[in-house]
Amino acid sequence: MPKIPKLLAIDTSCDDTSASVTTGRVVLSNVIASQTQLHKQYGGVFPTVAKEAHRVNIEPSVRMALQRAQTNWDEIDAIAVTIGPGLAPALEVGLRYAETIAKQHQKKLITINHIEAHALSALAQPKSRSLPLAAQLADIEQMQLPALPALAVVISGGHSEFILVKQIGTYEIIGQTIDDAAGECLDKIGRALNLGYPAGPLLEKFAKKGHLGRFELPMAMQGQTTFDLSFSGLKTAARALITKLEAAQHLDAQATYDLAAEVQAAVFGQIIYKLERILLSPDLAQKTYPSRHYLKHLTADTMPQTPIRSIWLGGGVAANRELRRQLRALLNRHAKKTGQQLKLLVPYTNKLCADNAAMIGVTAFYKWQQGLFSTTDILERQPNLKIANSHP
């Protein structure tokens, strides 16, 4: 069996400092030093504050990641680090640190695209409680990749993308937000409601107590014939509604809950709407958008079979249970219609949804297998890196 390396991974792309030790797809430690409390007062991420906090937190995070994985530098085979996309000053801290420790401990460097890592985060596996690590890594069934192509659905504070995973390392974005990301939309609406930052988790909690039907919010992009998404119109409409309710002194607790439910329904409804059409596309290779007429007249005989084998959910918003419930419901509907049962893979813990270094380590394992090491000692940050060119 080829060697399965042990990797030390680092992510400082945004507002969390994270370090992790992984081997293959197995996560041995995943330390996240959250800066949420620091940024709360600004209602968003403040780059210079993030940079300073990364500087302070990175060394102890790495030390703790090694400790929790019960390992040391001698056993580490390479260092993986996020090179982009992300906040330039924040990325910088992780890259400089990775360079330094790579030199100090004479390790190879692997640079990772943060979005690719979110896309692959559902592949990460926890360390088995019953099997010794070597036996777990040798278990082909556990370690095998799901059938490809897959569709990675990355929904975070910075990104909302449908990514066709043809092979690990070969991707095609088939739809993405044309303005705000879904998480950004949730956070901005949450800010208007004074929910603090980030608002996604609180909106999820409130939405459970809310009822649909009291307020009307727009569902964007239904008239478009692409798989793209848009959330800025929804944000504007929700903010206007909040201002109106506040002026009339009608924004009581129940109104906030109802609004949260409506906002979630609009955000997730749009994602589900587009995903359903991706799965029923008559020719996904051409990104052909199914027309209303085509969908209306589909019969058992003309029902298309999607090449997509499974859906991989990732990104901060992927932690949301209502989104997962709606995705499972969609896949059940799809199975009834087409006979194709697609599997939904979700990260095994919420820690893997938000920004974390374990997903960087898991992605780096595939780069290791492909021999994709950094050829330079000086890593240049790529704040606007796209997934299509994911071999930085």
Residue whose beta carbon is closest to Zn ion: 355
How many residues bind ligand KG4, per CB under 6 A?
19
Does the protein bind Zn ion through residue 355 (CB under 5 A)? yes
β-partners of residue 160 are 155
Q: Give the C-alpha separation, 8 to 358, whole Å.
A: 9
Phi, psi of 33 (to 5 degrees): -95, 105
Does the protein bind ligand KG4 through residue 320 (CB under 6 A)? yes
Does the protein bind ligand KG4 through residue 316 (CB under 6 A)? yes
Per residue, the 3-state secondary structure of 31-97, as one string, reads: EEEECHHHHHCCCCCCHHHHHHHHHHHHHHHHHHHHHHCCCCHHHCCEEEEEEECCCHHHHHHHHHH
Q: Could you tell me which of 82, 321, 77 has the C-alpha nearest to residue 329?
A: 321
Q: Could you tell me which of 146, 154, 110 has the C-alpha nearest to residue 125?
A: 146
- Intra-chain end-to-end CA distance of the chain, in Å: 28
Q: Could you tell me which of 331, 232, 220 has the C-alpha nearest to residue 265?
A: 220
Task: Kindly tell me which of 11 and 258 has the beta carbon lying closer to Zn ion.
Answer: 11
Q: How far is the CB of 173 from Zn ion (least distance, A)?
A: 16
Give, in degrees to the nearest 5, the angle at Cα 202 between 198 and 204: 115
Site for ligand KG4 (CB under 6 A): which residue of 186, 265, 308, 359? 186
Draw the binding track, 204-233, toward ligand KG4 (x: CB under 6 A; -: no contact): x-----------------------------
Q: How far is the CB of 230 from ligand KG4 (least distance, A)?
A: 16
Stretch in the footprint of ligand KG4 (CB under 6 A) among 89-97, 151-159, 217-225, 339-347: 151-159
Draw the binding track, 259-298, toward ligand KG4 (x: CB under 6 A; -: no contact): ----------------------------------------
Q: Give the C-alpha separation, 126 to 69, whole Å.
A: 12
Contact partner, 115, from Zn ion, ligand KG4, none, Cβ < 5-8 Å per class: none
Stretch in the footprint of Zn ion (CB under 5 A) among 141-149, 155-163, 225-233, 294-302: 155-163
Does the protein bind Zn ion through residue 12 (CB under 5 A)? no
Q: How far is the CB of 366 from ligand KG4 (least distance, A)?
A: 20
Backbone CA torsion sign across 113, 118, 122, 124: positive
Stretch in the footprint of ligand KG4 (CB under 6 A) among 104-112, 126-134, 153-161, 269-277: 153-161
Q: Give the C-alpha separation, 52 to 54, whole Å.
A: 5
Report CA-CA distances (Å) from 284 to 136, 150, 166, 333, 360. Answer: 36, 12, 12, 19, 29
Q: How far is the CB of 118 from Zn ion (least distance, A)?
A: 5
Does the protein bind ligand KG4 through residue 359 (CB under 6 A)? no
* Binding residues vs Zn ion (CB under 5 A): 156, 355
* Binding residues vs ligand KG4 (CB under 6 A): 14, 156-158, 183, 186-187, 198-201, 204, 315-317, 319-320, 354-355
